[in-house]
Amino acid sequence: MSYRAPVQDYEFLFRNVVGFDLVAGTERFDEASPDMVSAILTEAGKMCEEVMAPLQRNGDLHPARLENGVLRTSPGFADGWTAIAEGGWIGMSGNPEYGGMGLPMTLTTSVNEMMSAACLSLQLAPLMSQGQIEALDHHASDAIKELYLPKLISGEWAGTMNLTEPQAGSDVGALSSKAERNSDGTYAVAGQKIFISWGDNDFAENVCHLVLARLPDGAPGTKGISLFLVPKRIPDENGNAGVANSLKVVSLEHKMGLHGSPTCVMQYDGATGWLVGNEHGGMAAMFTMMNNARLGVGGQGVGAAEGAYQHALAYAMERKQGKTPSGTIIDHADVRRMLTTMKADLFAARAIMLACAVAIDMQTATGDAEWGARAALLTPIAKAFGTDVGIEIAQTGVQVHGGMGFIEETGAAQYYRDVRVTAIYEGTNGIQAMDLVARKMMDGGDAAARLLDEIEAHAEDARGAFPEMAEAVWQATESLREATEWLVSQSDMNDRFAGAVPYLRAFARVLGGHYHLAAALADRGGAREKLARYYISRLLPEHAGLLIQAQAGSADLYALNADELSA
Ligand SMILES: Cc1cc2nc3c(=O)[nH]c(=O)nc-3n(C[C@H](O)[C@H](O)[C@H](O)COP(=O)(O)OP(=O)(O)OC[C@H]3O[C@@H](n4cnc5c(N)ncnc54)[C@H](O)[C@@H]3O)c2cc1C
């Protein structure tokens, strides 16, 4: 499918909205000049347009398959992987000591979004490797880093993450995979994992699995879990992929979408593994990978939204139906409503995603705990709002196509089917919202309050230029502040959890208003000001209804008993 990389949109956001100049101003990232950023985005965009976008339909029509235990990927995916690897796009933010480019996460996040828009099912493969690279860099021994990181960064080897088991999905602590200590310092890992993305492929020499399992003396629950690196082929004395390890792909799932990405049931039969991090400290190590993947999955939603939007817009500009000035459906008011809403939400979700990446970069560059808290606060919002918006925009894209949206040949339906899972994996969006109102509010709401202070100060500054828009953003922020204070004052966590999803969305709505206002200030009288006006007058008001739900408590959710629910 055709795709145009939105390079100028990123450049505008970097320059005017998300404060990338702060990142480029640090010693750590001082090479990220505007020219360098532009060159990287342009080069990555070209690869996405020319190599990855043409593969999108292949993955859907010719899913990955298992033939006599050998995994065969969709036609062209091996070449796509080679192009991604050779372009250096896997290890963009990887440690330069091991061959990475050491670039800011803000850039990696933008490139990942473009790759997701071009071919979501293939992009999931480098995303898994990137998370593993970061987890190993932070938690593995030097020997493991020296052996594995150069190969993962170059794309010779690929990475996966193995958490889920049939009885242990959202509740990771319920896992039953086991590990035993071997006499040579390695471990024997046994158990079954399900839903493992890219659990195997036919393009990398080795596939390295990060597997959560419990040692015999591991406590029940998440506290007793350890993390192991379990390669498909055990490295020989020269560090090359050697003999086969005791693991296999048992079967592939038949899915609603994302057909090009093999989703595997994995069996480990005493497979040789190496400990990553401390014994029983696996969750801390895995969280490095999961946080990386959460922002990455939010970016998948944004990418799918961009692809679906471009697709719908192109159709609306060609489809003739009814009497309109241009003769095409783009001049019907309701089609305008759909397209403008798509564009405005796409901007908001992308800005939130990039602001989260900027906070991560600032934490990396400065070590400042406040930036760390900002990144932690924004991660569940970027994941859940990015993917919700991806699904909504892909769904609206089908609607813009009318009947042709329901017909597979147009490709509109594929965006919707492919992106749907992003709200489910990497922690469902419900779990993200609970993380926001519980773990991310353990500071009594301080990190949230600091962000709301900044938004209000910015709105104050904007009053002269745009009094109405500034007032709307300021008022919405005040309402969000009140709701935040209400939430943190609830001692019964279920009252917080009951309102978590609407609260997260209201938070995202306010952030979206803030970033749209910044865009309007940078483009007075231009298209970005017009889009900001649309968002702030039509979409931002949604926060009010959401915040009522956020503060409603849990009693009415339990008012109907199970019998009454099924009556
Ligand atoms: C295509 C695909 C690819 C995947 N890739 C990977 C992978 O590479 N590696 C991997 O390890 N896993 C992977 N997963 C698994 C994925 O992360 C899980 O499906 C997800 O975490 C949800 O777990 P579950 O399916 O068991 O659902 P459940 O945990 O059974 O959840 C069902 C519903 O209950 C809700 N729920 C559950 N617990 C709570 C709670 N405490 N409070 C409130 N609501 C709750 C959920 O939000 C959800 O709506 C993949 C899944 C799919 C479909």
**Secondary structure of 375-434 in HEC code, one letter for each residue:** HHHHHHHHHHHHHHHHHHHHHHHHHHCHHHHHCHHHCHHHHHHHHHHHHCCCCCHHHHHH
**Which residue is closest in CA terms to ligand 1's atom 11?**
163
Does the CB atom of residue 164 touch ligand 1 within 6 A? yes
Hey, CA dihedral for 281, 372, 172, 262, is it positive or negative? negative
User: Could you give the CA distance from residue 61 to residue 75 in angstroms, rounded to a whole number?
Assistant: 10
Helix (H, G, I), strand (E, B) or coil at 46: helix
Protein residue with its CA nearest to atom 20 in ligand 1: 425
* 295 ligand 1 Cβ < 6 A: no
In ligand 1, the atom with minimum distance to the C-alpha of 430 is: 47
Q: Is the shortest distance between the CB of 424 and ligand 1 below 6 Å?
A: yes
Q: How far is the CA of 168 from the centre of ligand 1 (A)?
A: 8
Q: State if residue 91 touches ligand 1 by the CB under 6 angstroms criterion.
A: no
Say which amino acid occupies 46: K
Kindly name the residue from 113, 392, 426, 529 that is annotated as catalytic: 426
d(Cα 96, Cα 237) in Å, to the nearest integer? 24
Distance CA 542, CA 388 (A): 15
Burial class (CB in 10 A: 0-12, 13-18, 19+), 564: exposed
Q: Which atom of ligand 1 approaches the CA of 193 most closely?
A: 11
Nearest residue (by CA) to ligand 1, atom 19, is: 425
Centre of ligand 1 to C-alpha 428, Å, is 6
For the question of whether the overall pTM of this predicted structure is more than 0.95, the answer is yes
Q: DSSP assignment, residue 168? A: B
Ligand 1 centre distance from Cα of residue 106 (Å):
27
Whole-number Å distance between alpha carbons of 123 and 247: 24
Place of tokens 């298209």: 527
* Cβ(41) – ligand 1 distance below 6 Å: no
In a structure prediction context, what are the per-residue pLDDT tens digits for the chain, which is 567 residues long? 799 999 999 999 999 999 999 999 999 999 999 999 999 999 999 999 999 999 999 999 999 999 999 999 999 999 999 999 999 999 999 999 999 999 999 999 999 999 999 999 999 999 999 999 999 999 999 999 999 999 999 999 999 999 999 999 999 999 999 999 999 999 999 999 999 999 999 999 999 999 999 999 999 999 999 999 999 999 999 999 999 999 999 999 999 999 999 999 999 999 999 999 999 999 888 888 788 889 999 999 999 999 999 999 999 999 999 999 999 999 999 999 999 999 999 999 999 999 999 999 999 999 999 999 999 999 999 999 999 999 999 999 999 999 999 999 999 999 999 999 999 999 999 999 999 999 999 999 999 999 999 999 999 999 999 999 999 999 999 999 999 999 999 999 999 999 999 999 999 999 999 999 999 999 999 999 999 999 999 999 999 999 999 999 999 999 999 999 998
113 among known catalytic residues: no
Helix, strand or coil for residue 444?
coil
Give the residue whose CA is nearest to atom 29 of ligand 1. 170
Q: How far is CA 382 from the centre of its chain?
A: 7
DSSP letter for each residue of 486-541: HHHT-SSHHHHHHTHHHHHHHHHHHHHHHHHHHHHHHSTTSHHHHHHHHIIIIITT
Q: Is 197 in the pocket of ligand 1 (CB under 6 A)?
A: yes
Task: State whether residue 178 is helix, strand or coil.
Answer: strand
Reduce the DSSP state of residue 22 to 3 states and report it: helix
Confirm or reject: Cβ of 282 under 6 Å from ligand 1: no
Structure tokens at 263: 């989703």
Q: Which residue has the tokens 């990555």?
A: 44
The residue whose CB lies within 8 Å of the most ligand 1 atoms, and thus the one to mutate among 132, 163, 194, 195, is 195
Instruction: State whether the beta carbon of 199 lies less than 6 angstroms from ligand 1.
Output: no
Please report the DSSP string for 262-319 in residue order: -EEEEEEEEEEEEEESSTT-HHHHHHHHHHHHHHHHHHHHHHHHHHHHHHHHHHHTT-
Say which amino acid occupies 387: T
**What does residue 395 show for φ and ψ, rounded to 5 degrees?**
-65, -45
**Which ligand 1 atom is at minimum distance from the Cα of 170?**
29
The encoded tokens of residue 554 equal 């849990």
Which among 316, 210, 345, 182 is positioned nearest to 268, based on CA atoms?
210
Ligand 1: residue whose CA is nearest its atom 4: 195
Q: Compute the distance from residue 255 Cα to the ligand 1 centre, in Å.
A: 15
| C-alpha 435 – ligand 1 centre gap (Å) | 15
Ligand 1 lined by 194 (C-beta under 6 Å): no
